[in-house]
Amino acid sequence: MDHPLILVVNDDGITAPGLLALVEAVQPLGEVVVVAPDSPQSGMGHAITINKPLRLREIQLVKGIRAFQCSGTPVDCVKLAVDKVLHRAPDMCVSGINHGSNSSINIIYSGTMSAAVEASLEGIPSVGFSLLDYSHSADFTAAKIYARFVAEMVLKYGLPKHSLLNVNIPKGGVHELKGLKICRQAHAKWEEEYIERLDPMGRPYYWLTGKFVNYDKGEDTDEWALANGFVSVVPVQHDLTAHHVIPVLNETWDLEAVSQIGLHEAGGESYNP
């Protein structure tokens, strides 16, 4: 592809160092345009703004690159970018580099990944990148090298329809990382614990804390790869259908009875199992 158009988005906001790292990673690969939230939007998942107006403002971020800050969510950024900034679908969308992991089930909560999912819904090859370091001063040197490799591969080979990539990069220097593994999402979850405190009026308030628990000891998972010094690449899809459950429901549910509901209603009787 000759000089592809690359949309860069994130959820940590337009001032996040991770965004700049991703811009630098993909800048040599094509024409880069940035549309990012004007405030941190981590944990927003696939939220969209429907009850208030959205603002888009062009700013100076990196010389020679068009950049816009948006008052909405990461998904709003993608939608506005395609409709009002680019006026077409870009050739690729990259999201991040997030400050903090989006491995395993974190993808469900992640604004970084939801932005990539939204681009994928629009048929745009897309990738979310996350570094396993929450700090503002995180070192993105190794992450940038792997992000460029993945972006190059996606531009060169594309991605199968209805799929996108979730890429997580362990903390550490370039020479500490062992390479990259294609993985499946580990079966893990957050065990939540809300801290309860009292406000100055004596009313309780709650603050979310939790610990991440990995039940999955498989060596083909993203958690295993990351724990062993590899960059994890999980291909994901936005079709959430549990295909294996369709025959189970068809076989076990009393679908014959429910198909009679309309007939009974028409006859003045109500369905009462």
Which residues here bind Mn ion, judged by CB under 5 A?
Answer: 11-12, 42, 98
- Smallest gap from Cβ 192 to Mn ion, in A, equals 19
- Smallest gap from Cβ 244 to Mn ion, in A, equals 32
Q: Rg of the chain's alpha carbons, rounded to an integer?
A: 22
The two tokens of residue 22 are 């991703």
Count the helix, strand and coil residues of the chain and give each as a percent rounded to the nearest 5.
30, 30, 40
Cβ closest to Mn ion, residue 98 vs residue 104: 98
Cβ closest to Mn ion, residue 38 vs residue 91: 38
Q: What is the rounded CA–CA span in Å between residue 147 and residue 25?
A: 6
- Smallest gap from Cβ 12 to Mn ion, in A, equals 4
- Smallest gap from Cβ 262 to Mn ion, in A, equals 49
Ranked by CB distance to Mn ion, the top (closest) residue is 42
Cβ closest to Mn ion, residue 11 vs residue 133: 11
The two tokens of residue 259 are 């198909």
Q: What is the rounded CA–CA span in Å between residue 153 and residue 159?
A: 9
Cβ closest to Mn ion, residue 74 vs residue 125: 74
Cβ closest to Mn ion, residue 29 vs residue 226: 226
Peptide bond into 97 cis (omega under 30): yes
- Smallest gap from Cβ 102 to Mn ion, in A, equals 8
